[in-house]
């Protein structure tokens, strides 16, 4: 029911699962939470941050610049660094469309970038095509705007191009193609499954966006939050390398996962024609994200401390991922659970025996809580429309807990599953 005096958007925003989950986790601190996508507290970059801050605050003018308001676009030197890092990760400037500095915009985390871009492009009733399952916070963002998230079938290599084409085709037949504004893709070690989009599919997805842009431009929103968190696999060029001069790809990235979510600096590389409209939205929202945080990240990169930190993270998360997979093989495999081993990111996506409802109303959730562990029910990650939700799924995160606690958490989950199917 719509409350009096609240906006339509407040009504659309109501009932998110995340707050309830966080509340349950905080209310029982002894719980082994494999739920939240938080990063490892033990590897947060305390000394790199201290060194950067010491240098900034040791210089009166630098300190004053950092403590002042910044610009809507964000700190230019950091934007230059991001451009350089991005071009280099994608094989150098000759292999991709050029990036003008004004195309790079800094935000308070990449979530803000996703939000502002969506505000810029979407009216109520507009459509975003997503992997099914996908990042549920972004599903909330879309809901908040009255936009429709339509899920597209996804396998171990990402969104299935044939299914994407079929969805676009159906929407065209329904006369809804003009309402399709974006295809949202987490192409590296996605949330929630930890799996990446194959190189071949990256090209196909961008091509489909281009081919179906007949009634209005369809963008590909490439959310690369987990690109840096890869363990023992080679990097793959981003979706943007498949773009052409028309500019269909909106690139988003963040320092939250590869450095610190407390600092919360994210960034976007926008197609030329979106720079002014997105800038206008951001100007109205905050006329610039926290400048101090941007100066801090700039200095960390300038001091050469980002890459070594990423290497440290890889070593730590590799061990944690292994601990989760080992425990899953030992305790969950025999119970008929299935998963695909990720090569990066922070998550393992579990498919439970058919018919076992892992949702908050099903039997497993409370049994797991009673055992002393928390997970995120998979159902939250499915868009309301399109490829149907699988309720026998859960997302496990190995970011926060130690390898020992991860193994313990899996053992508890196994006990809960045994009790649920008994």
Ligand X SMILES: Cc1ncc(COP(=O)(O)O)c(C=O)c1O
Q: Which residues bind ligand X (CB under 6 A)?
A: 37, 109-111, 135, 186, 191, 223, 225, 254, 256, 261, 264, 266
Residue (138 or 339) nearer to ligand X, CB: 138
Distance separating alpha carbons of residues 130 and 375, to the nearest angstrom: 23
Q: What burial class does residue 277 get, using C-beta atoms within 10 Å of its C-beta: 0-12 exposed, 13-18 middle, 19+ buried?
A: middle
Q: How far is the CB of 61 from ligand X (least distance, A)?
A: 29
Residue (192 or 372) nearer to ligand X, CB: 192
Question: For residue 99, what are the CA distances in angstroms to 271, 285, 302?
Answer: 9, 25, 20
Residue (136 or 365) nearer to ligand X, CB: 136
Q: How far is the CB of 380 from ligand X (least distance, A)?
A: 13
Q: How far is the CB of 257 from ligand X (least distance, A)?
A: 7
Residue (264 or 299) nearer to ligand X, CB: 264
Distance separating alpha carbons of residues 147 and 12, to the nearest angstrom: 10
Q: How far is the CB of 378 from ligand X (least distance, A)?
A: 15
DSSP characters over 305-333? -HHHHHHHHHHHHHHHHHHHHHHIIIIIG
Q: How far is the CB of 346 from ligand X (least distance, A)?
A: 8
- Helices 60-67 and 291-302: crossing angle, nearest 10°? 130
Q: What burial class does residue 289 get, using C-beta atoms within 10 Å of its C-beta: 0-12 exposed, 13-18 middle, 19+ buried?
A: buried
Q: How far is the CB of 224 from ligand X (least distance, A)?
A: 8
Q: How far is the CB of 186 from ligand X (least distance, A)?
A: 5
Residue (238 or 256) nearer to ligand X, CB: 256
Residue (82 or 186) nearer to ligand X, CB: 186
Q: How far is the CB of 4 from ligand X (least distance, A)?
A: 33
Residue (115 or 331) nearer to ligand X, CB: 115
- Using CB atoms, what's the residue nearest to ligand X? 109
Distance separating alpha carbons of residues 286 and 261, to the nearest angstrom: 19
**Nearest by Cα to 326 from 390, 382, 256, 408:** 408
Residue (115 or 179) nearer to ligand X, CB: 115
> How far is residue 134 CA from its own chain's centroid?
9
Distance separating alpha carbons of residues 194 and 343, to the nearest angstrom: 7
Residue (137 or 215) nearer to ligand X, CB: 137
Could you tell me if residue 189 is left (phi over 0), alpha (psi between -120 and 50 degrees) or otherwise beta? left
Q: How far is the CB of 115 from ligand X (least distance, A)?
A: 9
Omega into 415 within 30° of 0, i.e. cis?
no
Instruction: Name beta bridge partners: 68.
Output: none
**Nearest by Cα to 78 from 298, 306, 260:** 298
DSSP 8-state assignment for residue 44: S
Distance separating alpha carbons of residues 347 and 226, to the nearest angstrom: 10
Q: How far is the CB of 22 from ligand X (least distance, A)?
A: 13
Distance separating alpha carbons of residues 216 and 327, to the nearest angstrom: 49
Residue (237 or 261) nearer to ligand X, CB: 261
Task: For residue 395, give the 3-state DSSP assignment.
Answer: strand
């Amino acid at each position: 029911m719509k409350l009096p005096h609240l906006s339509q958007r407040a009504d659309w925003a109501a009932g998110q699962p995340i707050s309830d989950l966080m509340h349950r986790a905080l209310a029982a601190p002894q719980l082994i939470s494999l739920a939240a996508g938080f990063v490892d507290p033990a590897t947060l970059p305390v000394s790199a941050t201290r060194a950067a801050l010491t240098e900034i605050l040791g210089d009166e003018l630098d300190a004053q610049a950092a403590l002042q308001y910044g610009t809507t676009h964000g700190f230019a030197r950091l934007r230059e660094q991001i451009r350089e890092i991005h071009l280099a990760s994608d094989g150098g400037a000759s292999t991709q469309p050029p990036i003008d500095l004004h195309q790079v915009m800094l935000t308070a985390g990449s979530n803000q970038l996703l939000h502002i871009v969506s505000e810029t492009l979407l009216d109520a009733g507009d459509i975003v095509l997503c992997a099914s399952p996908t990042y549920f916070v972004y599903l909330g963002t879309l809901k908040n705007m009255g936009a429709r998230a339509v899920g597209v079938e996804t396998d171990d290599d990402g969104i299935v191009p044939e299914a994407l084409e079929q969805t676009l085709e159906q929407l065209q037949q329904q006369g809804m193609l003009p309402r399709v504004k974006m295809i949202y893709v987490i192409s590296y070690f996605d949330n929630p499954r930890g799996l990446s989009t194959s190189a071949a599919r990256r090209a196909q997805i961008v091509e489909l966006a281009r081919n179906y842009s007949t009634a209005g431009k369809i963008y590909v929103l490439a959310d690369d939050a987990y690109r840096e968190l890869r363990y023992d696999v080679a990097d793959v060029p981003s979706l943007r390398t498949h773009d052409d001069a028309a500019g269909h790809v909106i690139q988003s990235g963040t320092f939250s996962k590869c450095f610190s979510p407390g600092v919360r600096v994210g960034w976007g590389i926008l197609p030329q024609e979106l720079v002014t409209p997105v800038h206008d939205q951001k100007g109205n929202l905050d006329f610039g994200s926290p400048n101090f945080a941007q100066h801090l990240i700039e200095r960390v990169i300038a001091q050469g401390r980002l890459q070594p930190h990423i290497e440290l993270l890889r070593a730590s998360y590799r061990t944690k991922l292994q601990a989760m997979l080992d425990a899953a093989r030992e305790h969950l495999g025999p119970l008929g659970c299935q998963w695909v081993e990720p090569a990066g990111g922070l998550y393992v996506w579990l498919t439970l025996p058919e018919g076992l409802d892992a949702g908050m109303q099903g039997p497993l959730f409370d049994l797991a809580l009673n055992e002393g562990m928390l997970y995120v029910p998979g159902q939250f990650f499915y868009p309301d429309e399109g490829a149907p939700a699988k309720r026998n799924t859960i997302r496990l995160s190995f970011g926060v807990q130690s390898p020992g606690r991860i193994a313990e958490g899996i053992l508890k989950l196994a006990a809960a599953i045994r009790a649920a199917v008994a």
